[in-house]
Each structure stands twice: as C-alpha cells, then as structure tokens.
Amino acid sequence: DTAVSQTPKYLVTQMGNDKSIKCEQNLGHDTMYWYKQDSKKFLKIMFSYNNKELIINETVPNRFSPKSPDKAHLNLHINSLELGDSAVYFCASSQVLAGGEQFFGPGTRLTVL
Amino acid sequence: DQQVKQNSPSLSVQEGRISILNCDYTNSMFDYFLWYKKYPAEGPTFLISISSIKDKNEDGRFTVFLNKSAKHLSLHIVPSQPGDSAVYFCAATRLYGGSQGNLIFGKGTKLSVKP
C-alpha cells in the first residue's frame, strides 16, 4: 500500500500549456510538500501545506500554485509551462510541520517541449 | 549559495567493505540532519537522522557521525552490500526557531557497491 503516491509518473507537454500533478498520502500526516529536482540534481523545496494552510512559499513563479482539497492531498498546478519547468517534481509528507523526517512520493518527470 | 555540500559525486566500494559518504554544511543554525537513499525512478527514502545535540547515531549497518565544529557529517555503511548501490542525499534543517520544516539537500553521492 503506497504511502505517498503521485500521478502521473511521466508528463510530456508543449510550452504554454497548463498541467496538474496530483499527490496523495495515506499516512495521516499533517504536512505535505512539493520539491523540484532540476537538471543539476538539486532537490529544492517549493511549497508546503499544513492543515490546508500554505506555510512555505519559496521564490517560485506564481505560475505554480499548490491546491489542497483535504489533508491527504496536495496537487500542483502549473500554468503557461516553460522549457525551464522541465524537471522531476516530488511530493512529500511529514507527521507535523518541522517534524524532521519527510516521506517522498516516486516523482513526476515533467518534460516541456 | 549551497548550504549543504556533498563534494564527491560518486563512490565505488567493494562488497563487505565500509562505505563512507561525506557532507558539509555552512549554516550553523541547522540543528537536525538526515540521510536519504534514492534508487533510479523512485523518490528519496529516509535512512537515518541525527540531532545536533548528538555526535553519533547508529541504526544497524548505518551510522551517522556529526562534527559540529567542522560543520561536517558522514554516513558509514558497514558492511556494504550490492543493494546499497544508490544515490545518497544529505539534508539539513532547523527544527527549532521557525524553519518550518524546510529541508535543504545536498547534490547527492552515487554509491556503487561491487560484488
């Protein structure tokens, strides 16, 4: 039974399109995150949500918007996709905010053509 | 500016020997450190962590050492097994004082354990 799941696993799309990546966790955790792993392999935090409230919003373009319909889901919406958005996006969750260990999903490889 | 650095992109070790992966950090406010293991096409998996009030934490074959004065930590795997072959990420955070759970990752070290 997958703890943190993401769909789709692969996403290929054209520049200018709008796309979404879904994330679900069945661990009962309070906090969920989105990370981006770029071509240089750095994993960088994008957002986190705690009890439906945005806690961290790093310097990401406002074309990226996280949406959390409930505590178990944190979806990532991306508008007007650009070539530089191509990366692997990871969803993660932790029991509480600043709880240390975070559990990651399998990642979504986004390719923008 | 990289706050967490893993200066060795790769490491090759013989099965049964010790693997030592190193990590340096620059931010003295970090008080909690983690190691993650990542296989291709999978997400990072939590391996072991250490609080800044300790200098060593052990879990089976995995031991993490923390040298706060040098701002350095290392992960020891003994004995190394072929299944340990993966990319290992070092991460740091500030649990107390408003970090809000932000993990800062290093670039990773690819470990290859040869039979």
Which CATH fold would you assign to the domain B4-110?
A: Immunoglobulin-like (2.60.40)
Residue found by looking up tokens 């986190």 in the block: A48
Greater model confidence, B67 or A57: B67
Average pLDDT of the segment spanning B45-65: 96
Report the pLDDT value the prediction gives residue A41, as an integer from 0 to 100.
Answer: 80
Q: pLDDT digits over A56-83, tens only?
A: 777 888 899 999 888 899 999 999 999 9
Residues in chain A closer than 8 A to B32 (CB atoms): 100
Under 8 Å between Cβ of A33 and A103 = no
pLDDT at A96 over 80: no
If you measure CA to CA, which chain A residue comes closest to B99? A98
> Smallest CA–CA separation between B25 and chain A, in Å?
15
Domain count, chain A: 1
Q: Which CATH number is A64's domain given?
A: 2.60.40.10
What is the predicted pLDDT for the residue at A51?
Answer: 74
Which range of residues forms the domain containing residue A28? Answer: 4-112
Nearest to A69 by CA among A2, A6, A20, A24: A24
Residue A113 CA: distances (Å) to CA of A6, A14, A85, B18: 22, 5, 10, 44
pLDDT band at A53 (very low <50, low <70, confident <90, very high): confident
Q: Is the predicted pLDDT of residue A98 greater than 70, yes or no?
A: no
Domain boundaries, chain B: 4-110
Q: Which residues of chain A does B99 touch, with a Cβ-Cβ cutoff of 8 Å?
A: 98
The stretch A24-38 carries a mean pLDDT of 93
What residues of A are in contact with residue B59 (Cβ under 8 Å)? Answer: none
Q: With a cut of 90, say whether residue B4 has pLDDT above it.
A: yes
pLDDT at residue B13 above 80?
Answer: yes
B18 reaches A (C-beta below 8 A) = no
Contact flag A45-B103 (C-beta cutoff 8 Å)? yes
